[in-house]
Structure 1
């Protein structure tokens, strides 16, 4: 009898493991993105240490390789030659006696100010937050400090600075995510650091010794949660020679549609102090906060250092802390957004930080369709036989619009759908994923409907869609408003339709399947 019971237990374990492997393979096939980066295994969140050198873009990321939920943080590492196709590399930075390796940045030290390099090698220096779990466990406040590491072989190997930390904690619990850049005008390094619900600015000549300069953010912008992952960079205003500085600050919670999100400020920086522009002050009085992305799933967006031609490219973590650790994947969790080029537009109402997909995406265009449709109440736009909507870019141009609703639906044969579009009467964009498949996980995943306000009723509108297996990135009017959302259907979406309660409108479609392997 014992042998029978033992055999039954062994058989049960065997079939349980087979089922687990089967579920994992199903998840891998159904939910692994086609072209957005996701780690081979384990957990990921914030992008870190973004830089370009010798023809290669480097992206590091918060990583726990031994589990699919947040854990002791490492820096994972991927590389790309075009910001579209990514190749995972060995883990770059591991936790040590000073703590976990939290978020930060990396810079190409062209002048060897750090003295880590030599005449032949410009060192790459990573600046990151140490999070000491032992001090946190003991109830201490000063659990976070800033450390550095350097590489002389394009990030294949790293050496941590022996005198870490280079910036000790001043008595602030949330004191993290250093973004460092070279201030060429004043010949100094600047560090922007998140300090609870504001930013601190520090300056250094050698990346090792840092002096406090100022703080920014008290009573300005969104304050529904802790500030994280700041970034500061100059941009020319479109169509002018005027230069403004943009400060991105991510916040969790407190986003425009709940949970985590990114906000931005526009102003001037003199090497010590960041002050918002008067025109932007009026904008904040009206809007309270300016949001980089109105969707639920773009957090911790930061920019690359040393990008050619002075372009400013950002990339974010495509998830939300409300449900990131409960999404229905097992082998891995999370992916990045599409890399996006940002630009600054001045309007009568303030400034808009536009962001659009990087141009390199066009190099992967394959099978395509173009058509013009005079809209009826119900319209079939893209069928399964035309292009593969699990890897596609679509440019949609609505014309002769009237005050009504234009609802696009991404569908599959199971009746699941993601609904998005323009309510041209209430003046807002929207995304509804309440019927998108698996929705019963995390907090506030499927409700409420995501919305982004518009300042007018449009007679014409352009929408660019970047669609992967489990995500949609919606860029309205050249990136003036953006919504990023993830979803988990039980079958791939394969059809796009449009319903409307308006009459007389038309739609031009220019759609491309992406051939990315």
Structure 2
């Protein structure tokens, strides 16, 4: 008999049971996308961390596999977050095209270890020389020393490891993936420092698709310190190159820039070995309440995968996020169009709304507040919109259902704008327990988890003045 779980998502990855947080070891190899993650399949709270494992051929359909890397009697403790690479040139000596994972062990202090797989990620062997970067008591490294993200740096012909070290990022280099040397640090005096830095990632992107204009991007998660409370992920744009004989990240950015202004996209990192694109996924929760969400059997979901790009918008270069194309093609059944919309009136669309994508474009010349509302028969709702009077985009989930387990849920979550928008363009993905909102082609993103006591079944476009709807379409999911 199939058991239907009330809040189990339709198109977001969740483990069958137990706790899940950070995505780990994202790597593409031989037609398969590997998603590892912090996992405890014995409980719904953070403890006994291992690497869970799922595989997809399209980043949409996932198959859960047995846990990949687990604690054992090596004395090094739990398996914390990290990354994975394809060692195509056999730098480490385990064989060409070996998958090599890097993770943080916890005992007696946080140190960096490695494991390898020669069977396409199905089984893993811990390196006998672990840890590859030691952290001894009384040394000059704090205990907050974790989340190794390894990339290949073509210019230097070296492997580069980014590490979160309390309030900054360390960069280390290696030629054989076993012996590592510290290169430099970044972060002192830059960005948000209202919490511990975690889960770094470093990658290069073209600006507006121009191959002759590239920038390096460093993303760093922080807990707490997010723009709307709790945990969130910031980013920096700059260059990664040799300076004074050391490889270092250089950025003149002092202000805070955020990958996502919602409260439920944390610890996101990108896949290694995807050509010509940078695709990321994040943990769809927040450390302020992750252990209190009202799900059964499991806790924790992943965001939808997103392609990251660099765009120059009125002289400001920013990271944008767009839902991957493979997922977009899965929404095929139209349940409402522009012809169905009447401003400030409900459209009854039924339970298909709880697994849907909404596209909406409106002109907003004389409007001070405009948006869209999802609601149900018992009066619960979530409102997503734009306040022109005070220049912010927002999500209000304070009346979305079960919200009493965390004060942060009762706040209006905002993305403050640097300029006034003359139109509102939204693409919204609604699942059983989440909304992901992409404003103006991913220029701003807000991800929020929700737990309505009854599924949302009605939609309303609201406005406090005359509004012209340019596009409106709701499509439900098929095929997952």
TM range (shorter): over 0.9
1:291-306 to structure 2, matched below 5 A, reads: 291-306=258-273
Larger Rg: 1
1:318 has 2:284 as partner: yes
SS of equivalent residue, structure 1 residue 408: strand
SS in structure 1 at match of 2:353: coil
The answer for the alignment partner of 1:103 in structure 2 is: 81
Match of 2:233 in 1: 262
Aligned to 1:460: 423
Cα distance in 2 between the residues matched to 1:151 and 1:181: 18
| TM-aligned CA deviation for residue 453 of structure 1 | 1.0
Q: In 2, are the aligned partners of 1:340 and 1:358 still within 8 Å (CA)?
A: yes
Distance in 1 (CA, whole Å) between partners of 2:419 and 2:112 is: 45
Q: State the SS of the aligned residue for 1:29.
A: coil
Structure 2: segments with no counterpart, 5+ residues: none
When normalised by structure 2's length, the TM-score is 0.94
Inter-partner Cα distance in structure 2 for 1:252 and 1:130 = 20
Number of residue pairs aligned between Structure 1 and Structure 2: 468
2:364 and 2:424 in contact (8 A); partners too:
no
Task: Please identify, of 289-298 and 420-429, the stretch whose mean Cα deviation from structure 2 is larger.
Answer: 420-429
Task: State the distance in 2 between where 1:67 and 1:402 align.
Answer: 52
Q: Which runs of 4+ in 1 moved over 6 A?
A: none
Q: Specify the SS of the correspondent of 2:328.
A: helix
Q: Which residue of 1 aligns with 2:398?
A: 434
Could you tell me how far apart the structure 1 residues matched to 2:152 and 2:16 are? 34
Q: Give the structure 2 partner of residue 139 of structure 1.
A: none
The residue that corresponds to 1:127 in the other structure is 102
CA contact (8 A) 2:367 2:467 kept: no
Aligned residue for 1:55?
Answer: 31
Is the CA contact (8 Å cut-off) linking 1:30 and 1:491 kept in structure 2?
A: no
Q: Give the match's secondary structure for 1:478.
A: coil
Shift of 1:478: 0.6
Root mean square deviation of aligned Cα: 1.7
The structural deviation recorded for 1:49 is 0.2
Q: Distance in 2 between matches of 1:201 and 1:383?
A: 53
Measured in 2, the distance between the counterparts of 1:82 and 1:124 equals: 20
Q: Is the 8 A contact 2:338 2:473 kept in 1?
A: no
Query: What's the counterpart of residue 464 of structure 2?
Result: 501
- Provide, for residues 316-365 of structure 1, a one-character-per-residue CA deviation record: whole Å limited to 9, x for no partner: 00000000000011300010000000000123453210001101013312
Aligned twin of 2:15: 39
**Mean Cα displacement is larger for which, 329-338 or 507-516?**
507-516
Cα separation, 2, equivalents of 1:299 and 1:251: 8
Taking the TM superposition and a 5 Å limit, the aligned residue runs for 1:151-230 are: 151-169=117-135, 170-230=140-200
Aligned partners of 2:296 and 2:194: how far apart in 1? 31
Q: 2:301 aligns with which of 324, 327, 335?
A: 335
SS across alignment from 1:389 = helix
Equivalents in 2 of 1:377, 1:343: separation in Å? 34
| Residue pair 1:373, 1:508 contacting (<8 A) in 2 also | no
Q: 2:349: which partner in 1?
A: 384
Name the residue aligned to 1:347.
Answer: 313
1:85: how far off?
1.4
Do the aligned partners of residues 125 and 418 (structure 1) sit closer, same or farther apart at CA in structure 2, a change above 3 Å counting? same
Taking structure 1 as the reference length, the TM-score comes to 0.88
Is the partner of 1:446 in helix, strand or coil? helix
Name the CA distance, whole Å, in 1 between partners of 2:428 and 2:342: 22
1:414 aligns with 2:385: no
